[in-house]
């Protein structure tokens, strides 16, 4: 523990995942302590950021009300600061998007596309509803949205998602990250939350030793691997629990507050 406390002394910015880290995905519950926590961190001069697989429009108002300094969204593909200035953006090549759509259509799977400020579905179904509605509500339907907009991330959607295998030509450009039994994120081969967070660190002139990360899912793997101090929520995926420097309690049991106090940051 002494080693962790020493690492914690160097923390100058903390990034938080949203779902099941700051907020319970299925119910929307957020502990009342979070508002005070973010205020204290700001008073102490520690910057804060959101690092999420969600599109920017999926960052719900109650998260924005915490006034984080940075938003790393779409698994690192679209990054802005609190003044809405774009720090980094990396859309998928249009040819890759077209190939993904062709593959999923031929595989009897639906898809969701992330524009810069909108999330659109190819169709709406019970499967789509069970996975997507808790995060975004019901999405607009437009199977051709990708033809006229830059796409920063795609999401597969099917009852047989665990059987979907990227064609070889696509596996050279993108990878799949499972986040739901019926759905996977499709992100650039080298794209991740870690890429977006690194862009923020570069802008601030900070090193990885100055960053702390809270997360729970497989899209946090690269971020935990980046360095700094990584904290996993109690309900995290086993791989995240294995990678974490520290494991804290659940959202409902004030896991964020407990970890920050245990590490002498609060």
* Structural domains of the chain in order of their starting residue, each with its CATH number: 2-90+191-262 (3.40.50.1000), 94-188 (3.30.1240.10)
Task: Write down the pLDDT at residue 46.
Answer: 98
Scan for tokens 């990360």, then name that residue. 213
Measured from the Cβ of residue 248, the count of other Cβ atoms closer than 10 Å reads: 24
Could you give the CA distance from residue 58 to residue 139 in angstroms, rounded to a whole number?
11
Could you give the CA distance from residue 167 to residue 171 in angstroms, rounded to a whole number?
6
List residues with catalytic annotation.
Answer: 17
The pTM for the full model equals 0.89
Instruction: Find the length of the chain.
Output: 266
pLDDT of 258 > 90? The answer is yes
148-157 tens-digit pLDDT: 999 999 999 9
180-228 tens-digit pLDDT: 999 999 999 888 999 999 999 999 999 999 999 999 999 999 999 998 9
104-133 tens-digit pLDDT: 999 999 999 999 889 999 999 888 998 888
User: The tokens of 245 are what?
Assistant: 């420097």
Task: Write down the pLDDT at residue 116.
Answer: 86
Measured from the Cβ of residue 86, the count of other Cβ atoms closer than 10 Å reads: 10
């Amino acid at each position: 523990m002494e080693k962790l406390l020493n690492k914690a002394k160097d923390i100058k910015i903390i990034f938080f995942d949203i779902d099941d880290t700051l907020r319970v995905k299925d119910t929307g519950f957020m502990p009342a302590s979070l508002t005070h926590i973010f205020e204290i961190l700001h008073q102490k001069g520690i910057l804060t950021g959101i690092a999420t697989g969600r599109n920017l429009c999926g960052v719900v108002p109650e998260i924005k009300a915490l006034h984080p300094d940075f938003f790393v969204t779409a698994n690192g593909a679209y990054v802005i600061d609190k003044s809405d200035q774009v720090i980094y953006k990396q859309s998928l090549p249009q040819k890759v998007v077209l190939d993904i759509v062709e593959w999923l259509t031929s595989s009897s799977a639906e898809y969701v596309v992330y524009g810069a400020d909108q999330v659109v579905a190819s169709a709406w179904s019970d499967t789509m509803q069970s996975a997507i509605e808790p995060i975004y509500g019901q999405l607009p339907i437009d199977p051709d949205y990708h033809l006229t907009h830059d796409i920063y991330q795609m999401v597969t959607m099917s009852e047989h998602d665990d059987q979907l295998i990227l064609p070889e030509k696509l596996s050279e450009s993108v990878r799949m990250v499972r986040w739901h039994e019926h759905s996977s994120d499709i992100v650039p081969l080298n794209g991740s939350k870690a890429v977006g967070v690194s862009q923020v660190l570069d802008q601030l002139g900070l090193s990885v030793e100055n960053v702390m990360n809270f997360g729970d899912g497989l899209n946090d793997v690269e971020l935990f691997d980046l360095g700094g101090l990584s904290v996993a929520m109690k309900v995290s995926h086993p791989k995240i629990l294995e990678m974490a420097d520290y494991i804290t309690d659940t959202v409902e049991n004030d896991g964020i507050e407990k970890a920050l106090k245990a590490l002498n940051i609060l």
